[in-house]
Amino acid sequence: MSLLRLAAGLLCTGALVAAMTPLLLLLMPWRVARIRVTNVFVTAIGRSVVWCSGCRVTVVGLEHVSADRPAIYACNHTSILDAFTTIWLTPRGTVGVAKKEVIFYPFYGQAWWLAGHVFVDRGRTERAKAALRKTAAFIRANGLHLCILPEGTRSETGELLAFKKGIVHIALETKLPIVPMVTVGLAGVWRRGSWRVRPADVTITFLAPIATTAWTEERMDAQLEEVRDTFVRALSASPRLLA
C-alpha cells in the first residue's frame, strides 16, 4: 500500500508539472508571472500528494492567510510532506526558499527552478545571505509572499530544532509580518530513507502574524527566539506533538 501511495503521489506531481511546463517556458522572461502560474498548479500538487499519503488534515487559523496581505510564512519541518503542505496552503503569489539539493528531486525540483523560486547553498553562508537579500528585494518590489522552513533541515523526532537566521534577515529587509504555520502529526508519516508511508491525523495551524516593522539588526538573536518561542508554545500546547 505504501508503494502504491508513493507511486500515486509521484504520478500526480509528474502530470501536473508536465501540464504547467509549457506555460512556464513561455513565461520565462516574466518571473512574477511564472510564480503566480506555478502557485495555481502547485496548490493542486500539494493537495493531491497529501491526499495520496492518506493523511487526514485539519487546517486552523486560515483567517491569518490572505493573498492580499504580503507576509513571510514560516513552517516547522518534520517531514518531506511539509514541502507539499506549504505549497498547498500558502497563498497565491508565494515565493519558496529551498536548499539547493531540491533541484534534483524528480519533477518537484525542476518545477521549482522553472517557477523562479529560490535555492540556497546552506554550506556557503555568505552566498546564502546574498541570495536571501536579493529575494527580499524581489518580493518587496512585487508585493509577494515568502515561505521558509526556518529550521533549515528536517527534524527526525518532531521536536523543534534551532532556527537559522535567514528568516530574520528576510524580515529585516522586507519588514513583512511573519505568519507561523505550525504543523503537528507529520513527523512519523514518511521517514527519511523509508518507502513506507504511515497515514496520520495532521493539524496545521496558522497563528497570528508577528510584526517585524520595529526589528533591528542589533537584536537579531532575540527576534529569532521570539519567532521560535511562538512555535514552542504552540507545539507544547498540542496533545499529540509527536503523533
Alpha-carbon distance of 151 to 192, in angstroms, equals 16
Alpha-carbon distance of 241 to 243, in angstroms, equals 6
The per-residue pLDDT string of the chain (243 residues; one tens digit each, 9 = 90 and over) reads 566 766 777 777 777 788 888 898 999 999 999 999 999 888 988 888 898 888 999 999 999 999 999 999 999 998 889 989 999 999 999 999 877 888 888 777 788 888 888 888 767 778 878 888 899 999 999 999 999 999 988 887 778 999 999 999 999 999 999 999 999 999 888 777 666 788 899 999 999 999 999 999 999 999 999 999 999 999 988 755 433
> pTM surpassing 0.85?
yes
- 3-class DSSP state of 143: coil
Alpha-carbon distance of 219 to 197, in angstroms, equals 42
Q: Which distant-in-sequence residues (6+ apart) come within 8 Å of 187 by Cβ?
A: 78, 79, 155, 157, 158, 242, 243
Q: Which three cell numbers stand for residue 66?
A: 490572505
CATH code for residues 2-236? 3.40.1130
DSSP state of 10: H
Q: Which distant-in-sequence residues (6+ apart) come within 8 Å of 27 by Cβ?
A: 33, 34, 37
- 3-class DSSP state of 60: strand
- The full set of domain ranges for the chain reads 2-236
Q: What is the β-pairing status of strands 178-184 and 201-206? A: antiparallel
pLDDT tens, 161-189? Answer: 999 999 999 999 999 999 999 999 998 88
